[in-house]
Amino acid sequence: MGTPAAFGPLERADALCVRRGVRLTPQRRRVLAILCSASRPLGAYEILEAMRDGSRPLAPPTVYRALDFLLEQGLVHKLESLHAFIGCRHPDHPHSGQFLICRTCGLVTELEDEAICESLRSAADETGFRPERRVVEVLGVCACCVGKGVEG
Protein backbone atom coordinates (compact mmCIF):
# COMPACT_ATOMS: atom_id res chain seq x y z
CA MET A 1 0.00 0.00 0.00
CA GLY A 2 1.39 3.41 -1.00
CA THR A 3 1.43 6.59 0.99
CA PRO A 4 -1.75 8.69 1.00
CA ALA A 5 0.03 11.34 -1.09
CA ALA A 6 0.46 8.75 -3.85
CA PHE A 7 -3.30 8.14 -3.94
CA GLY A 8 -5.71 9.99 -6.16
CA PRO A 9 -8.39 12.24 -4.63
CA LEU A 10 -10.97 9.45 -4.36
CA GLU A 11 -8.59 7.05 -2.65
CA ARG A 12 -7.51 9.81 -0.25
CA ALA A 13 -11.19 10.54 0.49
CA ASP A 14 -11.88 6.84 1.11
CA ALA A 15 -8.94 6.62 3.53
CA LEU A 16 -9.87 9.85 5.33
CA CYS A 17 -13.48 8.76 5.79
CA VAL A 18 -12.41 5.38 7.18
CA ARG A 19 -10.04 7.12 9.61
CA ARG A 20 -12.78 9.53 10.68
CA GLY A 21 -15.38 6.79 11.06
CA VAL A 22 -17.78 8.27 8.50
CA ARG A 23 -19.30 6.68 5.40
CA LEU A 24 -18.37 7.78 1.92
CA THR A 25 -21.43 6.21 0.31
CA PRO A 26 -21.44 5.39 -3.41
CA GLN A 27 -23.61 8.47 -4.03
CA ARG A 28 -21.25 10.79 -2.11
CA ARG A 29 -18.23 9.23 -3.81
CA ARG A 30 -19.86 9.76 -7.21
CA VAL A 31 -20.46 13.47 -6.50
CA LEU A 32 -16.84 13.80 -5.37
CA ALA A 33 -15.62 11.97 -8.50
CA ILE A 34 -17.60 14.32 -10.73
CA LEU A 35 -16.13 17.38 -9.00
CA CYS A 36 -12.58 16.03 -9.02
CA SER A 37 -12.72 15.20 -12.72
CA ALA A 38 -14.32 18.50 -13.76
CA SER A 39 -12.15 21.11 -15.43
CA ARG A 40 -14.03 23.90 -13.64
CA PRO A 41 -16.24 24.43 -10.60
CA LEU A 42 -19.72 22.94 -10.94
CA GLY A 43 -23.08 24.01 -9.59
CA ALA A 44 -25.39 21.53 -7.88
CA TYR A 45 -27.64 21.20 -10.93
CA GLU A 46 -24.63 20.55 -13.18
CA ILE A 47 -23.58 17.78 -10.80
CA LEU A 48 -27.11 16.40 -10.85
CA GLU A 49 -27.08 16.37 -14.65
CA ALA A 50 -23.71 14.57 -14.70
CA MET A 51 -25.13 11.93 -12.34
CA ARG A 52 -28.15 11.12 -14.51
CA ASP A 53 -27.63 7.78 -16.20
CA GLY A 54 -31.21 7.06 -17.19
CA SER A 55 -31.65 4.26 -14.66
CA ARG A 56 -33.76 6.29 -12.23
CA PRO A 57 -34.63 9.92 -11.68
CA LEU A 58 -32.52 11.86 -9.21
CA ALA A 59 -33.76 14.80 -7.18
CA PRO A 60 -31.74 17.88 -6.21
CA PRO A 61 -31.81 16.99 -2.47
CA THR A 62 -29.73 13.91 -3.32
CA VAL A 63 -26.90 16.12 -4.55
CA TYR A 64 -27.29 18.71 -1.81
CA ARG A 65 -27.09 16.04 0.92
CA ALA A 66 -23.94 14.61 -0.65
CA LEU A 67 -22.43 18.10 -0.97
CA ASP A 68 -23.24 18.87 2.68
CA PHE A 69 -21.38 15.74 3.75
CA LEU A 70 -18.41 16.45 1.48
CA LEU A 71 -18.21 20.05 2.73
CA GLU A 72 -18.43 18.91 6.35
CA GLN A 73 -15.56 16.47 5.76
CA GLY A 74 -13.46 19.11 3.97
CA LEU A 75 -13.39 17.10 0.75
CA VAL A 76 -14.86 19.92 -1.36
CA HIS A 77 -15.09 23.69 -1.20
CA LYS A 78 -18.01 25.93 -2.04
CA LEU A 79 -17.14 29.00 -4.07
CA GLU A 80 -19.76 31.48 -2.92
CA SER A 81 -19.16 33.98 -5.71
CA LEU A 82 -19.81 31.29 -8.34
CA HIS A 83 -22.45 29.28 -6.45
CA ALA A 84 -20.32 26.27 -7.38
CA PHE A 85 -18.17 23.54 -5.87
CA ILE A 86 -14.67 22.16 -6.42
CA GLY A 87 -12.75 19.24 -4.96
CA CYS A 88 -10.27 20.14 -2.23
CA ARG A 89 -6.58 19.77 -3.12
CA HIS A 90 -5.55 18.91 0.44
CA PRO A 91 -8.44 17.47 2.43
CA ASP A 92 -6.19 15.73 4.96
CA HIS A 93 -6.08 18.77 7.24
CA PRO A 94 -8.46 21.62 8.06
CA HIS A 95 -7.58 24.89 6.38
CA SER A 96 -9.04 28.20 5.30
CA GLY A 97 -9.97 28.40 1.65
CA GLN A 98 -8.19 30.89 -0.55
CA PHE A 99 -9.02 30.89 -4.24
CA LEU A 100 -7.90 32.75 -7.34
CA ILE A 101 -10.77 32.59 -9.84
CA CYS A 102 -10.30 33.53 -13.49
CA ARG A 103 -13.42 35.27 -14.74
CA THR A 104 -12.37 34.58 -18.33
CA CYS A 105 -11.64 30.83 -18.50
CA GLY A 106 -13.01 29.71 -15.12
CA LEU A 107 -9.71 28.33 -13.81
CA VAL A 108 -9.66 28.14 -10.02
CA THR A 109 -6.39 27.94 -8.12
CA GLU A 110 -6.60 26.89 -4.48
CA LEU A 111 -4.00 28.44 -2.20
CA GLU A 112 -3.00 27.67 1.35
CA ASP A 113 -1.13 30.75 2.49
CA GLU A 114 -0.59 31.04 6.23
CA ALA A 115 0.22 34.77 5.93
CA ILE A 116 -3.28 35.42 4.57
CA CYS A 117 -4.78 33.36 7.41
CA GLU A 118 -2.76 35.26 10.00
CA SER A 119 -3.73 38.62 8.51
CA LEU A 120 -7.43 37.68 8.68
CA ARG A 121 -7.03 36.37 12.26
CA SER A 122 -5.29 39.57 13.32
CA ALA A 123 -7.87 41.85 11.69
CA ALA A 124 -10.72 39.89 13.25
CA ASP A 125 -9.08 39.98 16.69
CA GLU A 126 -8.50 43.73 16.47
CA THR A 127 -12.16 44.37 15.73
CA GLY A 128 -13.58 41.75 18.08
CA PHE A 129 -15.09 39.92 15.12
CA ARG A 130 -15.57 36.15 15.43
CA PRO A 131 -15.24 34.53 12.03
CA GLU A 132 -17.23 31.38 11.39
CA ARG A 133 -15.75 30.59 8.02
CA ARG A 134 -12.59 32.05 6.47
CA VAL A 135 -12.81 31.91 2.70
CA VAL A 136 -11.06 34.34 0.40
CA GLU A 137 -12.13 34.47 -3.25
CA VAL A 138 -10.19 36.71 -5.59
CA LEU A 139 -11.77 37.25 -9.01
CA GLY A 140 -9.52 38.30 -11.85
CA VAL A 141 -7.73 37.00 -14.91
CA CYS A 142 -5.23 34.12 -14.84
CA ALA A 143 -1.73 34.37 -16.28
CA CYS A 144 -2.64 32.19 -19.26
CA CYS A 145 -5.56 34.43 -20.29
CA VAL A 146 -3.48 37.57 -19.71
CA GLY A 147 -0.74 36.08 -21.91
CA LYS A 148 -3.26 35.36 -24.66
CA GLY A 149 -4.68 38.87 -24.38
CA VAL A 150 -8.08 37.39 -23.44
CA GLU A 151 -9.47 39.37 -20.54
CA GLY A 152 -13.21 39.05 -20.93
Q: Does the annotation place 17 within a ligand binding site?
A: no
Helix ranges, the chain (H): 9-20, 26-37, 44-51, 60-72, 114-127, 143-148
Q: Does the annotation place 144 within a ligand binding site?
A: no
Q: Which residues of 85-100 are buried (b: 16+ CB within 10 A; e: fewer)?
A: bbbbeebeeebbbbbb
Cβ proximity of 60 and 52 under 8 Å: no
Residues at the binding site for Zn(2+) are 102, 105, 142, 145
Residues at the binding site are 102, 105, 142, 145
